[in-house]
Amino acid sequence: MRSLAAEFTLSHRPRQGARAFFARIDENTARLREAYRLLADDVHRGESTVPATEWLLDNFPLIESAARETRRNLPRRWFINVAGAGYDAYVTERVPRPVPSAFTYLRIALRGLAEYRAPRFSITTADGAHIAGPMLLAFVANAQYCGNRMQVAPTARMDDGMLDVLAVRELSLLQALPKLAKLYGGRILGDPAVQHLRAARVRIETDPPAVIQADGQIIGKTPAEFSLRPQALTVATGPAGPSPAGAAARVGSAPRSG
């Protein structure tokens, strides 16, 4: 027990620690389970116990249940603006930190199109809408902009309780170039290569698994579910009126189907 408690120290790299959070839940639960079994054996042999032993024996089933619920229900990551699966995250993963210039993302994106192989997407909303097929990428947007003023979701609003989902079919470099002007100009909706859905909850599966980014941070791979927490943010708008409440979006791991 002492060795377990000693491992809970402040991290000097909090982002890395956050990514390991669920792994640590699994590891710590396994250690507590082993301690529970050893202590239960001691009790069965008639050995004396201390209050801490009695507490663990009484409460471990509750601890194990809480760990399962946390693993199942706690969102992996919150985001405010835009998450992406597929090529968008593939490029984000390759952008150096700190970003050297405003054109770094665009340069890496154009260079990588020649070698990227689009996975097959299956995108399903809570109300049953579905998009499927080979896709370059899919954006899940709570707000309109990301990546140095790319207006990926012109119809998105942070206070409407809906996520905007944009799926872009597989494109060659020559096909992608005209889309960039539309993307930065807020005219991407209506393009024949783009499919658009709006929903409060979205599930994305891909074959093979695709990398996911949320507000520029790599957070894992598909499958994943995206949802909203309404009125999670208070936004200052100036002296003209009260601050509106905006939603924060979240992405969590999803069990593979099939």
Tens of pLDDT, residue by residue over 115-131, are 899 999 999 999 999 99
Instruction: Note whether residue 234 is domain-resident.
Output: no
147 and 60, same structural domain?
no
Contact by Cβ (8 Å): 248, 227: no
Instruction: Note whether residue 97 is domain-resident.
Output: yes
Contact by Cβ (8 Å): 206, 136: no
What residues make up the domain containing 13? 2-73
100 and 216, same structural domain?
yes
User: How many structural domains compose the chain?
Assistant: 2
CATH code of the domain containing 103? 2.60.200.40
Instruction: Note whether residue 105 is domain-resident.
Output: yes
Instruction: Note whether residue 247 is domain-resident.
Output: no
184 and 102, same structural domain?
yes
Q: Where does a domain end: 73, 91, 120?
A: 73
Q: Quick one: what percent of the chain has pLDDT higher than 70?
A: 81
In this structure, the number of other CB atoms found within 10 A of the CB of residue 202 comes to 26
Tens of pLDDT, residue by residue over 137-186, are 999 999 999 877 889 999 999 889 999 999 999 999 889 988 888 988 89
Q: Where does a domain end: 17, 42, 73?
A: 73
Place of tokens 């957070």: 219
- Per the DSSP assignment, residues forming a β-bridge with 150 are 146
* Cα distance between residue 114 and residue 38, in whole Å: 57
In this structure, the number of other CB atoms found within 10 A of the CB of residue 113 comes to 18
Q: Where does a domain end: 73, 104, 125?
A: 73
159 and 110, same structural domain?
yes
168 and 110, same structural domain?
yes
Residue 258 clears pLDDT 70, i.e. is over it: no
Residue 210: name the closest of 221, 202, 220 by CA: 221
* Cα distance between residue 231 and residue 238, in whole Å: 18
205 and 124, same structural domain?
yes
Instruction: Note whether residue 113 is domain-resident.
Output: yes
**What is the predicted pLDDT for the residue at 232?**
75
Between 215 and 10, whose confidence is greater? 215
118 and 39, same structural domain?
no
171 and 97, same structural domain?
yes
DSSP 111-155: HHTTT--PPEEEEEETTS-EEEEEEEEEEEESSSEETTTEE--TT
158 and 44, same structural domain?
no
The alpha carbon of residue 102 and the mean position of all alpha carbons in its chain are separated, in whole angstroms, by: 24
Instruction: Note whether residue 86 is domain-resident.
Output: yes
Q: How far is CA 167 from CA 134, 137, 193, 233, in A?
A: 10, 6, 8, 27
Instruction: Note whether residue 42 is domain-resident.
Output: yes
193 and 174, same structural domain?
yes
Residue 134: name the closest of 126, 123, 125 by CA: 123
84 and 62, same structural domain?
no
**What is the predicted pLDDT for the residue at 149?**
81
Tens of pLDDT, residue by residue over 66-122, are 888 877 766 557 888 999 999 999 999 998 888 778 778 888 888 888 889 999 999
Instruction: Note whether residue 242 is domain-resident.
Output: no
In this structure, the number of other CB atoms found within 10 A of the CB of residue 189 comes to 16
Using the Cα atoms of residue 212, residue 245, residue 129 and residue 127 in order, give the sign of their dihedral: positive
Contact by Cβ (8 Å): 220, 20: no
3-state SS assignment for residue 162: coil
Tens of pLDDT, residue by residue over 196-223, are 999 999 999 999 999 999 998 898 899 9
* Cα distance between residue 22 and residue 50, in whole Å: 31
Q: Count of residues for the chain?
A: 258
Q: Which residue type is seen at 35?
A: A
**What is the predicted pLDDT for the residue at 17?**
44
Give pTM, 2 decimals: 0.68
**What is the predicted pLDDT for the residue at 191?**
95
124 and 31, same structural domain?
no
